[in-house]
Chains A and B, each alone.
Chain A
Amino acid sequence: MSFHPECLGRSYSAPPEILDRERHLAYAAAVTGQDPPPELVRPLACFAAVYLLWPIVPQLFSDQQVGLDLPRLLHGEQEFWFERPLQFGEELTPEGSVTRADERRGMVFLELLCHGRDGRGEAVAHSRSLFLVRGPE
């Protein structure tokens, strides 16, 4: 599959996701190595991978108009940030777009920016991912 730099600006959306306490328990057990995990007052920040990033990423990875070579793909950088503390039971609607798409010295650089909107339509959770695709050996 060949990469298409003109994919810059491609956007994706997904149905609303609930910050489910039970789902968070399984997530927290994996990241803490404790089962059950410690009592948590609010969702862990990187739980955003579950409700914000992964509803969008499979769409990006399978998008023929982007053309990522998945076996050579690396996750280079990740950032999550939030406008306020989130609570269990909240519903967020994820959306994402390609904000960088270029190729330098045989390496593909693709940035995906995602936002999660709350029930009032406010973007309260954000994610920036930089994916790299290694060129042929």
Chain B
Amino acid sequence: MVGFPPALDEVPPKLSQRLTQERIDAYAKASGDHNPIHLDPDFARAVGLPSTIAHGLLTLGSAAAEIEIWAQETAWTSRVSCRFSAPHPSGQVVSGQPRVIESESTRAAIELEAENEAGERVLSRGLVELRPV
């Protein structure tokens, strides 16, 4: 990001990250969320999932981190929010193109939506709110 606020036509970095089981395991260790639906394929299948799934907060954290790293020299993040619309199976790429939707002198809002490889929306109504440092 060049300066604050970002222009409405400024394009934040595209999200495209493969959430491997290794990353899911690393996130579980770092966050303390050891729910077996993320870690144990047999358990995941037993509760009706095709495989283990990424933590929603790993998916959101990965998407938000791209924007925060892009903006960190000129802005801090005052809000991050989303709806987890569908599970993100382990090993799949999560992708999306964030958009600047509000640009004011003291606040900018970035819309954040992301989908899995099946084209299902995994993050919807996503928002990252930035304020100048």
Q: Write the residues of chain A forming the contact surface with B, with a CB cutoff of 8 angstroms.
A: 23, 26-33, 38, 40-42, 44-47, 49-50, 53-54, 57, 70-72, 74-82, 85, 137
Contact = CB atoms under 8 A, between A and B. Distances in A.
Contacts of A71: 37, 46-47
Interface in B77-109: 77-84
B45 to A, nearest CB: 12
Interface residues of B, number: 41
B133 A85 contact: yes
A82 B77 contact: yes
B76 A46 contact: no
A61 B79 CA distance: 25
28 contacts: A26-B29, A26-B30, A27-B30, A28-B65, A30-B23, A30-B30, A31-B65, A32-B62, A40-B69, A40-B72, A41-B72, A42-B76, A44-B77, A45-B64, A45-B79, A46-B57, A49-B57, A50-B31, A54-B33, A57-B33, A78-B56, A78-B81, A79-B79, A79-B81, A81-B78, A81-B79, A81-B129, A82-B79
A33 B23 contact: yes
Interface of B: 17-18, 23, 26-27, 29-33, 35, 37, 46-48, 55-58, 60-62, 64-66, 68-69, 72-73, 76-84, 128-129, 133
Counting chain B CB atoms within 10 Å of each CB, the highest count among A26, A30, A49, A71 belongs to A30
Given A30-B29, A32-B66, 16 more contacts: A26-B29, A30-B30, A45-B68, A46-B60, A46-B61, A46-B64, A50-B32, A53-B57, A54-B31, A76-B84, A77-B81, A78-B56, A79-B79, A81-B79, A81-B81, A85-B76
B17 to A, nearest CB: 6
A130 B3 CA distance: 35
B30 to A, nearest CB: 4
B3 to A, nearest CB: 16
A41 B35 CA distance: 31
A29 B47 contact: no
Contacts of B60: 46, 78
A77 B82 contact: yes
A122 to B, nearest CB: 15
Contacts of A41: 72-73
B81 A80 contact: yes
A27 B68 CA distance: 14
